[in-house]
Structure 1
Amino acid sequence: MIGIGPGGIEPVRRLKVADSVAAQLEQLITRGDIKPGEKLPPERVLAERFGVGRSSMREAIRVVEANGMLRTDHGRGVFVVSDKKTMPKLSDLLVFDDFTVPELFEVRLSLEPDAASFAARRITAPEATDLQRILTEAENPQLSDDAFVKLDAELHRAIVAATKNRLLLRLMESIEPLFFKYSHRVIKLPGRRSHAHAGHVALVQAIIGHRVRDARTAALAHIREVERDIVEHLEQAAERK
């Protein structure tokens, strides 16, 4: 037995069950036991095979998804998309060429809640139908992330158009290229796509129901949830270092 004195090693973070499962799952993928394009067994089955609870299994899947190796398709399941880690870096999530994501959030928080409340007051029946059409297209699990992001932008643009305020629409269109750039990066975060769609559903339901206060609240909650997803990812990445 190798003797280790009290100062011989540094304390390390206790390995959670989910981290251990995630490491094993990543190993299965990297050595080719599960190949890109293949669908994982249901969460219940995986939990039984790994001998862990479903909550730990769910967290492990989120970790591997955050590392860019899995993709959750709403209504279809979890698929392997890569046999290599491509975890978003801090700079990828927070800093762009000429602006930061916090700056974009400040602008969105200034524009979108008001836009949602105006739209709830002024939306027409054809505009409501168009919003519902976008939601229907976006919930298709076979959509690529790129197609989902385009529908995301189309939805937000349609909401602002429903305000009948041309200046507000011009302001929204001016930040749309930045919105695209940021969305293509954060859409890869675990659960982000399903969270985004759920937020869109709540927002559209409030707007077409002419519930002005609820529309404002839904717009605010939608943006805050993106912030929480980013913060959670960064905290988990820091813990794994």
Structure 2
Amino acid sequence: MKKSAPQEASIEVAPITRQKLSDQVYDRLWEMIVSGDLGPGDVIPSERVLMEKFSVGRPAVREALQALASKGVITISHGERSRVNELTATIALEQVDEIAKLLLSAEPSNLDHLKQIRKILEAGTVRVAAANRSDEDLRSLRALLDRQKRQLKNTKGFIEADIEFHAALANASGNPLLQAITRAMLTWLFEYYKPLLHWSGREGTTLQEHEKLIQHLEARDADGAAALMREHLDRSDPLYTSSNS
């Protein structure tokens, strides 16, 4: 009996795509930075050296360098050689800043989601801050509180000082990721702040609660600080609304 020919196995594979030269140069430079061959502060090899090293033309090198610069990975200065930046959480969040604002504008319900995240994040942040704060942190918070008091007749200045106060609470945590995330989140929220014609004493309440938060941190009272923060944000939530609301 004649044997049937073996059937070919069905294998799903992605098609091979041809990469742009600039993308390949970008990938090589990225690998050098990730591996530590090029560290923070190091000078990037000149365009001519990169052209010779990768066997590509000047346009491919320049496009790759511009792509790295747009991501905040390197700094290109006119008349000077490019240098590798020290990567931080702030640089990383700056890359999603415009997309985050677009996301909030496109879907109004995301603003409520962001406010929910803020409550979770800041209530946890003040717990850490109560344990880690320094005397310098307390002085900084009191200085910001005084600044906010001086802005009572200036709504925009009052809210800007409010943002700086909450950012300083994150600074007191000693966690650089919390600091960067909190500042980015507050910046996004400020885009949606709608000042009310009559605050009915809201400014005074805000100042009182900020004073109490400082006192909780001074006493290293993590539970008290977290409970007050939740109440504080529950009260301020209505001040941030979508233009579609």
Normalized against structure 1, the TM-score is what? Answer: 0.50
**Is 1:97–2:112 an aligned residue pair?**
no
Sort the Cα spacing of 1:186 and 1:142 in 2 relative to 1 into closer, same or farther, 3 A: closer
Q: Which residue of structure 1 aligns with residue 179 of structure 2?
A: 169
Correspondences of 1:127-206 after superposition (within 5 Å): 127-140=137-150, 143-183=153-193, 185-186=194-195, 188=197, 190-191=199-200, 192-206=202-216
Q: CA deviation at 1:110?
A: 1.5
Map 1:1-241 → 2, pairs under 5 A? 97-98=105-106, 99=108, 100-140=110-150, 143-183=153-193, 185-186=194-195, 188=197, 190-191=199-200, 192-227=202-237
User: Residue 203 of structure 1 aligns to which amino acid in structure 2?
Assistant: L
SS of 1:97 mapped into structure 2: helix
Output the CA distance in 2 between the equivalents of 1:188 and 1:123. 36
**Which string of whole-angstrom CA distances, capped at 9 and with x for unpartnered residues, describes residues 141-191 of structure 1?**
6541111111101000000011011111121122122222233x1455523
CA offset at residue 196 of structure 1? 2.1
Structure 1 residue 111, shift from structure 2 partner: 0.3
Rg bigger for which structure? 2
Assess if the C-alpha contact under 8 Å between 2:118 and 2:185 holds in 1. Answer: no
Q: Give per-residue Cα distances to partners, 1:62-112, cap 9 Å, x unaligned.
A: xxxxxxxxxxxxxxxxxxxxxxxxxxxxxxxxx962454422221111100
| TM score, norm. by length of structure 2 | 0.50
2:55 alignment counterpart: none
Aligned mates of 1:194, 1:154 — CA distance in 2: 17
Amino acid at match of 2:215: Q
Give the Cα separation in 1 of the matches to 2:169 and 2:119: 15
Give the whole-Å Cα distance in 2 for the aligned partners of 1:182 and 1:152. 15
User: Which residue number corresponds to residue 57 of structure 1?
Assistant: none
Q: 2-side partners of 1:219 and 1:225: how far apart?
A: 10
Q: Mark the runs of 5 or more structure 1 residues left unpaired by the alignment.
A: 1-94, 231-241
Q: After TM superposition, where is structure 1 displaced by more than 3 Å over at least 4 residues in a row?
A: 98-101, 186-189
Kept after mapping to 1: 8 A contact 2:104/2:111: yes
Q: Let me know the Cα RMSD of the aligned residues.
A: 2.6
SS of corresponding position for 1:163 = coil
Residues 191-236 of structure 1 show CA distances to partners (whole Å, capped at 9, x for unaligned) of 3322322222222221122111111111111011124x56xxxxxx
Instruction: Identify the range of structure 1 (134-143 vs 105-114) with the bigger mean alpha-carbon deviation.
Output: 134-143
**Contact 1:199–1:221 (8 Å) recurs in 2:** no
Compared with structure 1, are the counterparts of its residues 142 and 223 closer, same or farther at alpha carbon in structure 2 (3 Å cutoff)? closer
Name the SS of the counterpart of 1:182 in structure 2: coil
Name the SS of the counterpart of 1:146 in structure 2: helix
5+ residue gaps, structure 2 = 1-102, 240-245
User: Counterparts of 1:143 and 1:193 in 2: how far apart (Å)?
Assistant: 10
- In the alignment, the residues of structure 1 paired with residue 165 and residue 219 of structure 2 have an alpha-carbon distance, to the nearest angstrom, of 16
Paired residues of 2:127 and 2:226 also in contact (CA < 8 A): yes
